[in-house]
Structure 1
Amino acid sequence: WNQWLPWTQCTLSCGGGTHFRLMVCANSNGSECTRDLFHTDECNAHQCPIDGYWSSWQPWTPCSATCGDGVRRRIRSCIGPLYGGRKCNEDDHESLLCFEENCEHMIAYIIMLTIEYNIAMYYNYANVYVYVFFNS
């Protein structure tokens, strides 16, 4: 009688491993078995899951404000996953508070330029002198 033993465990869980089985051969007349006693086969040929992974961070953006409080941001991308792998965890973006020069100086400067322009207009057309005082 001839009987195959069960297959061994596959050498890989994915990506193409091998397993084998043996035959038990017992001839009642004592003659040798004429069949192969060892059989191999491919197993778990499916693709292995590939988990997603993060790209490098993009550079920080400039501060969103030209004066006062603002925000800088940067992003990254999840590459993959493939074949049932896990998605990237954690955030794909970061924010950072930033502070540019005090806005009061900027506003005062703009007001001063506007007043100087208006003074020049009045002076040229009406010969009017206007004095503007700023508290510092």
Structure 2
Amino acid sequence: MIAVWTTWSGFSQCSRTCGQGTQTRTRQMNCTGIVSTSSVCLDKQIESKDCNSIPCDKIPLNGGWSSWKEMVKCSKSCGGGMRIRYRTCSNPIPANGGQFCVGASVKTTLCNDQPCPAFYTDKLTSGFIKKKWSPTEYTFPKWEALQ
């Protein structure tokens, strides 16, 4: 009878993703020349080791983008303005040294690029008076509010 231990299997996946888990591997007796139901041939060894000892509240958490917000109205009523939309790195917020989101947080598009008229007629005041045109201006929210 020849009885030889097989090589160890690879370690299993850790039983926990954080907070102290266990990995195991096995090997068994390989018998030749005798009936395989011999008690020696049924021997099995199990080895284990600790893994993922980082506390769950200390694991780095990478940030993820929120959905894009709606486009804000055009910054000018004529003469070429800009519309913006934004998203924040808050789904989730990076934590414990996790990475900040990669990519743009603001998208812009041009709008209302038609020329502004030099004058317009004000029909609401007395007698169709021509007045100098002044484009409507829109102020974007401060950048701090977008983050």
Q: How high is the TM-score relative to the length of structure 2?
A: 0.48
1:102 is displaced (CA, Å) by 3.1
Structure 1 residues 21-100: aligned runs within 5 Å: 40=48, 42-46=50-54, 47=56, 48-79=59-90, 80-99=93-112
In 1, Cα distance between equivalents of 2:99 and 2:68? 20
Q: Is the 8 A contact 2:62 2:94 kept in 1?
A: yes
Deviations 1:93-121 (A, max 9, x none): 111111254311xx421xx439x74888x
Q: Tell me which structure has the larger Cα radius of gyration.
A: 1
**More off after superposition, 93-102 vs 42-51:** 42-51
1:88 is displaced (CA, Å) by 0.5
Letter of the aligned partner of 1:18 in structure 2?
A: T
In 2, Cα distance between equivalents of 1:56 and 1:21? 44
Q: For 1:113, which of 109, 118, 122 is the aligned residue?
A: 122
- The verdict on how the C-alpha distance between 1:18 and 1:113 changes in structure 2, with shifts beyond 3 A counting, is same
Q: For 1:15, which of 11, 14, 18 is the aligned residue?
A: 18
- The verdict on how the C-alpha distance between 1:42 and 1:64 changes in structure 2, with shifts beyond 3 A counting, is same
Aligned-residue sequence identity (percent) comes to 31
Higher helix share: 1
In 2, Cα distance between equivalents of 1:64 and 1:96? 11
- Note the aligned Cα RMSD (angstroms): 3.6
- The verdict on how the C-alpha distance between 1:98 and 1:38 changes in structure 2, with shifts beyond 3 A counting, is same
1:50 is displaced (CA, Å) by 2.4
> Could you list the runs of 5+ residues in structure 1 that have no partner in the other structure?
1-7, 23-36, 121-131
- The verdict on how the C-alpha distance between 1:14 and 1:119 changes in structure 2, with shifts beyond 3 A counting, is closer
Q: Is the 8 A contact 2:12 2:25 kept in 1?
A: no
Number of residue equivalences = 95
1:15 is displaced (CA, Å) by 1.6
1:68 is displaced (CA, Å) by 1.8
Q: Is the 8 A contact 2:63 2:98 kept in 1?
A: yes
